[in-house]
A and B are shown apart, each in its own frame.
Chain A
Amino acid sequence: MTPRDDGGAAASGVIPAQAGIQQPLISLRGVSKSYRRGGQIVPVLNGITLDIQRGDFLGLMGPSGSGKSTLLNLIAGIDKPDAGEIFVDGVDITRLGESELADWRAGSVGFVFQFYNLMPVLTAFENVELPLVLTSLSRRERRGHAEAALGLVGLADRMEHYPSELSGGQQQRVAIARAVVTDPKLIVADEPTGDLDRHSAEEVLTLLDRLNVELGKTILMVTHDRRAADRAHAIMYLDKGELSSAGDIHERSVREARL
Chain B
Amino acid sequence: MKPVPLAYSARNLWTRKLTTALTAGGMALVVFVFAAVLMLEAGLRQALVATGQYDNVVVTRRAAGNEVQSGIERSQAAIIESQPEIAIGAGGVREVSKEAVVLIAQPKHGTGVPTNITVRGVGAQGLALRPQVRVVSGRMFRPGSTDVTVGRSIAERFDGVGLGARLRFGGREWTVVGVFDAGGSGFDSEIWGDGEQMMQSFRRQAFSSVIARLVDPAQFERLKARLEADPRMAVDVKRERVFYEEQSEMLANFIRILGLTLSVIFSIGAMIGAMITMYAAVANRTGEIGALRALGFRRGSILASFLAEALALAVLGWVAGLGLASLMQLVHISTMNWQSFSELAFAFALTPGIVAQSFAFAVTMGLAGGVLPAVRAARLKIVDALRAA
Interface residues of A (CB under 8 A from B): 73, 76, 78-79, 98-99, 102-107, 111, 113, 115, 117-122, 126, 130-131, 133-134, 178
Known: A73-B383, A115-B287, A115-B389. A78 touches B293 (CB 8 A): yes
Q: In the bound complex, do residue A106 and residue B296 qualify as a contact, i.e. CB atoms below 8 Å apart?
A: yes
Q: In the bound complex, do residue B294 and residue A122 qualify as a contact, i.e. CB atoms below 8 Å apart?
A: no
Closest to A110 in B: B295
Residue B8 contacts which of A99, A104, A117, A119 (CB distance < 8 angstroms)?
A: A119
Known: A121-B12, A122-B11, A126-B7. A102 touches B386 (CB 8 A): no
Q: In the bound complex, do residue B2 and residue A133 qualify as a contact, i.e. CB atoms below 8 Å apart?
A: yes
Q: Taking chain B's interface residues, is the majority helix, strand, or loop, or is none over half, making it mixed?
A: helix
Q: Does B111 contact A (CB under 8 A)?
A: no
Per the bound structure, the CA–CA distance linking A122 and B292 in Å amounts to: 13
Interface residues of B (CB under 8 A from A): 2, 4-5, 7-8, 11-12, 14-15, 287-288, 290-299, 382-383, 386, 389
What is the distance, in angstroms, from A21's C-beta to the closest C-beta of chain B?
A: 31
Q: In the bound complex, do residue A78 and residue B382 qualify as a contact, i.e. CB atoms below 8 Å apart?
A: yes
Q: In the bound complex, do residue B389 and residue A102 qualify as a contact, i.e. CB atoms below 8 Å apart?
A: no
Q: In the bound complex, do residue B294 and residue A105 qualify as a contact, i.e. CB atoms below 8 Å apart?
A: yes
Q: In the bound complex, do residue B291 and residue A79 qualify as a contact, i.e. CB atoms below 8 Å apart?
A: no
Per the bound structure, the CA–CA distance linking A121 and B386 in Å amounts to: 18
Q: In the bound complex, do residue A113 and residue B299 qualify as a contact, i.e. CB atoms below 8 Å apart?
A: no
Q: Which residues of A contact B7 (CB under 8 A)?
A: 121-122, 126
Q: In the bound complex, do residue B8 and residue A134 qualify as a contact, i.e. CB atoms below 8 Å apart?
A: no
Q: In the bound complex, do residue A126 and residue B5 qualify as a contact, i.e. CB atoms below 8 Å apart?
A: yes
Q: In the bound complex, do residue B295 and residue A131 qualify as a contact, i.e. CB atoms below 8 Å apart?
A: yes
Q: Which residues of A contact B8 (CB under 8 A)?
A: 119, 121-122
Per the bound structure, the CA–CA distance linking A95 and B4 in Å amounts to: 26
Known: A117-B386, A117-B389, A134-B2. A102 touches B293 (CB 8 A): yes
Known: A73-B383, A78-B382, A119-B8. A111 touches B2 (CB 8 A): no
Per the bound structure, the CA–CA distance linking A113 and B293 in Å amounts to: 14
Q: In the bound complex, do residue B294 and residue A130 qualify as a contact, i.e. CB atoms below 8 Å apart?
A: no
Per the bound structure, the CA–CA distance linking A106 and B12 in Å amounts to: 24
Per the bound structure, the CA–CA distance linking A118 and B292 in Å amounts to: 9
Most buried by A among B5, B287, B288, B294: B294
Known: A113-B386, A115-B287. A78 touches B5 (CB 8 A): no
Residue B299 contacts which of A76, A98, A105, A121 (CB distance < 8 angstroms)?
A: A98
Closest to A74 in B: B383
Taking A78-B382, A99-B298, A102-B297 as known contacts, 13 extra A-B pairs with beta carbons closer than 8 A to each other, sorted by chain A number, are A103-B296, A105-B295, A106-B295, A113-B386, A117-B290, A117-B291, A117-B389, A119-B288, A120-B15, A121-B14, A130-B292, A131-B295, A133-B5
